[in-house]
């Protein structure tokens, strides 16, 4: 049973991505593949992934948030954001690009998950729990926004070149795509602000030796996204400019959360 659940989870994620890809790149057969199929497959994968996370993260004395467990949890949050957004907006197309890496994260977690002394338990206090969860949620939203920004840039470029054919026809209107992008960025910015505020207010020393790199990089990412939001509403930034700022901000945030974690746990092995 322990082997069946991760295999089914991976298969469902890949199946949802495959159906979304057919709808996106082969729009002539979209009538036979409704978006509800992607949504059903995606939510089924989410449920099984949640069960798998419970098995790999929940320990007797707390939550095991070692590197691969945290990566799998982050992937689950990305999938959750996509599926919830797809209930009211055409966000299921993002499954094409994000569900395969999430499936890979599930496989990596099952193959390489380790016991860890980095437990989130009752003695850690609820502020640390808020800090960790909001950090992962913010990263998940910005990861989704990064892929959305790439799609938006490609769509905008094709429309400006008067080449609206191919999968561009299957995408929602440009205004809808832009609206979804900045909704994701603003929601991620709110969560990142909560994460940083909870860290500064409740953690003993955010600039301790083992936290200073994460604090500086997270703060730098916050500044980058703040500039992007300001530029959007002050100067109407879009297209390549929005793509550049989104990807740079996400890269910096990824270094803060998972880059430093990979170095500490997998390379230095501390």
DSSP string for 174-239: HHHHHHHHHHHHHHHHHHHHHHHHHHHHHSS-TTSTTTHHHHHHHHHHHHHHHHHHHHHHHH---H
Determine the pLDDT at residue 96.
92
User: Is beta strand 58-59 parallel, antiparallel or unpaired with respect to 62-64?
Assistant: antiparallel
Determine the pLDDT at residue 125.
63
Phi, psi (degrees; rounded to nearest 5) at 62: 145, -160
Determine the pLDDT at residue 46.
97
Q: Where are the domains of the chain?
A: 1-121, 125-270
The span from the CA of 258 to the CA of 237, in Å, is: 29
10-residue mean pLDDT series, the chain (270 residues):
87 95 76 83 96 85 80 93 89 91 94 66 66 88 92 83 66 84 94 89 60 84 96 88 93 84 60
Determine the pLDDT at residue 122.
56
Q: Strand 62-64: give its sheet, edge to edge.
A: 58-59, 62-64, 119-120
The span from the CA of 80 to the CA of 189, in Å, is: 18
Determine the pLDDT at residue 208.
53
The span from the CA of 245 to the CA of 49, in Å, is: 31
Structural element, H or E, at residue 64 = strand 62-64
Q: Token digits for 169? A: 């026809």
Query: Do 145 and 181 form a contact (C-beta atoms < 8 A)?
Result: yes
Determine the pLDDT at residue 118.
56
As a whole number of angstroms, the longest Cα–Cα distance in the chain is: 60
Determine the pLDDT at residue 238.
83
CA 82 to chain centre: 9
């Amino acid at each position: 049973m322990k082997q069946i659940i991760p295999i089914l989870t991976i298969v469902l994620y890949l199946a949802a991505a495959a159906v979304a890809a057919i709808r996106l790149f082969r729009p002539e057969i979209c009538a036979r593949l409704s978006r509800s199929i992607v949504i059903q497959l995606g939510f089924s994968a989410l449920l099984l992934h949640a069960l798998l996370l419970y098995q790999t993260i929940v320990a007797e004395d707390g939550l095991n948030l070692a590197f691969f467990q945290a990566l799998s949890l982050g992937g689950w949050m990305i999938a959750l954001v996509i599926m919830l957004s797809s209930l009211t907006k055409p966000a299921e197309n993002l499954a094409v690009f994000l569900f395969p890496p999430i499936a890979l994260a599930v496989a990596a977690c099952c193959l390489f998950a380790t016991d860890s002394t980095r437990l989130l338990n009752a003695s850690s206090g609820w502020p640390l729990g808020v800090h960790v969860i909001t950090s992962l949620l913010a990263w998940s939203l910005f990861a989704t926004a990064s892929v959305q920004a790439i799609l938006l840039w490609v769509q905008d470029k094709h429309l400006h070149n008067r080449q609206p054919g191919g999968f561009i026809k299957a995408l929602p209107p440009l205004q809808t795509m832009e609206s979804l992008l900045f909704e994701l960025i603003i929601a991620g910015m709110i969560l990142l602000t909560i994460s940083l505020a909870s860290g500064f207010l409740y953690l003993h020393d955010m600039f301790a030796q083992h936290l200073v790199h994460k604090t500086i990089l997270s703060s730098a990412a916050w500044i980058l996204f703040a500039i992007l939001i300001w530029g959007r509403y002050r100067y109407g930034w879009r297209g390549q400019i929005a793509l550049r700022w989104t990807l740079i901000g996400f890269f910096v945030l990824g270094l803060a959360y998972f880059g430093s974690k990979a170095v500490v746990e997998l390379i230095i092995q501390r």
